[in-house]
């Protein structure tokens, strides 16, 4: 009797664990979805961000500035095209990093860069700053009568202009603030060259670097296996020589690594997801054994 009770408790415990792990997998695989910005999300993120708001403003004051700057320019969903509006807002909460800790990324490597920065090289992407934590994975078009116009937030042609302009202005400040030794995560498996001509990194960040930067290490990252090493540091068409030249003009040392270690589970993926994936079959097997 006692052993039967013990078994049913174990099964219950495992079922609980299993559902938790499943939830983890679902949450982790949805990270790329952009959610519509709402006042509630703004305040929740503003209050829980770490580092928090340090510029002497309160979340209420920041929201008031947001409402004013992003007020819809017309009765339809026309995007705000004036760069100075975006600039005015991002200057309230400039995304800054301490010396030696700035990490850029390009080519859809946002998640990999975040994890490599956190787990393996102790550097910070723009997502880790207050501004990044407040706006990452959110979309909006403009504010009408004090709240984000939800209809316009579903208008991709408006949100894409807004997000592009917003992140371009934020990235410019991020790059201007970089000092000492920096790094950039580039995609070594994409169809486009790692130093893509039209990326924000190429068009905005590299040109905004100042003489406070001493070096930049380019780190190429790859899909699941080394077979997908489409680009390496020495690929002739990678455009990496152009990066080298652009940096040399600013007296910034350039080096590059295509060591697969940076793409490994250990560096570039979030622990929870990889753990859940490995644990799932194991849990199912254990559960099967216990229930028979
Ligand atoms: C930045 O890194 C260099 C080289 O590792 C080191 O000499 C310097 O003290 C570091 N600066 C800060 C502020 O950590
Ligand atoms: C590299 O680019 C490919 C194709 O756009 C994308 O599927 C992949 O997620 C990117 N790799 C990394 C590590 O972000
Ligand atoms: C916004 O406010 C104005 C003036 O208070 C009002 O006339 C208008 O109907 C409101 N628009 C919406 C979409 O609520
Ligand atoms: C970067 O931002 C920090 C925080 O605002 C500031 O103290 C520092 O002077 C800035 N550095 C540069 C080079 O702009
Ligand atoms: C690149 O240069 C930086 C700074 O000088 C250094 O810390 C790093 O180890 C170098 N990386 C490679 C792959 O050579």
* 3-class SS string, the chain: CHHHHHHHHHHHHHHHHHHHHHHHHHHHHCCCCCEECCHHHHHHHHHHCCCCCCCCCCHHHHHHHHHHHCECCCCCCCCCCCHHHHHHHHCCCCCCCCCCCEEEECCCCHHHHHHHHHHHHCCECHHHCHHHHHHCCEECCCEECCEECHHHHCCHHHHHHHHHHHHHHHHHHHHHCCCEEEEEEEECCCCCCCCCCCCHHHHHHHHHCCCCEEEEEEEEECCCCHHHCCCCCCCCCCCHHHHHHHHHHCCCEEEEECCHHHHCHHHHCCHHHHHHHHHHHHHHHHHHHHHC
State percent of the chain over pLDDT 90: 75
pLDDT (tens digit per residue) in 202-216: 999 999 999 999 999
Smallest-distance ligand from the CA of 76: 3
Atom of ligand 1 nearest to the CA of 180: 1
Kindly report, residue by residue over 7-64, the tens digit of the pLDDT: 555 555 455 444 444 444 433 333 457 899 999 999 999 999 998 998 889 999 999 9
pLDDT digits (tens, 9 = 90+) for 127-141: 999 999 999 999 999
Find out whether the beta carbon of 75 lies less than 6 Å from any atom of ligand 3.
no
Confidence check: pLDDT of 221 > 60: yes
What is the pLDDT averaged over residues 91-96?
Answer: 97
**Ligand 5 atom closest to the CA of 256, numbered from 1:** 13
Give the pLDDT of residue 106.
98
Q: Give, for ligand 2, the residue of 29, 120, 190 to mutate: max count of ligand atoms closer than 8 Å to Cβ.
A: 190
Q: What is the pLDDT of residue 45?
A: 98
Tell me what the mean pLDDT of segment 265-274 comes to.
75
Nearest ligand to the C-alpha of residue 192? Answer: 2
pTM of the full structure: 0.84
Residue nearest to atom 7 of ligand 2 (CA): 190
């Amino acid at each position: 009797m006692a052993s039967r009770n013990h078994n049913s408790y174990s099964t219950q415990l495992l079922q609980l664990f299993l559902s938790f792990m499943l939830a983890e997998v679902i949450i982790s695989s949805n990270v790329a979805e952009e959610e519509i910005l709402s006042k509630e999300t703004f305040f929740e993120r503003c209050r829980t961000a770490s580092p928090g708001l340090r510029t002497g403003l309160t979340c209420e004051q920041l929201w008031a500035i947001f409402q004013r700057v992003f007020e819809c320019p017309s009765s339809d969903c026309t995007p705000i095209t004036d760069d100075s509006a975006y600039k005015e807002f991002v200057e309230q909460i400039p995304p800054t990093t301490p010396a030696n800790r700035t990490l850029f990324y390009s080519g859809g490597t946002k998640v990999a860069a975040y994890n490599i920065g956190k787990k393996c090289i102790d550097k910070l992407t723009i997502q880790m700053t207050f501004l990044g934590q407040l706006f990452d994975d959110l979309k909006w078009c403009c504010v009408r009568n004090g709240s984000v116009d939800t209809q316009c937030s579903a208008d991709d042609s408006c949100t894409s202009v807004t997000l592009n302009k917003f992140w371009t202005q934020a990235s410019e400040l991020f790059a201007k603030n970089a000092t000492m030794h920096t790094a950039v995560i580039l995609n070594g498996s994409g169809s486009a060259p790692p130093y893509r001509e039209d990326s924000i990194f190429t068009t905005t960040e590299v040109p905004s670097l100042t003489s406070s930067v001493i070096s930049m290490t380019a780190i190429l990252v790859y899909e699941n296996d080394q077979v997908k090493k489409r680009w390496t540091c020495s690929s002739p068409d990678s455009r990496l020589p152009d990066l080298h030249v652009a940096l040399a003009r600013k007296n910034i040392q350039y080096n590059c690594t295509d060591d697969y270690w940076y793409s490994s589970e250990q560096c570039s993926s979030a622990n929870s997801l990889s753990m859940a994936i490995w644990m799932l079959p194991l849990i199912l097997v254990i559960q099967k054994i216990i229930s028979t």
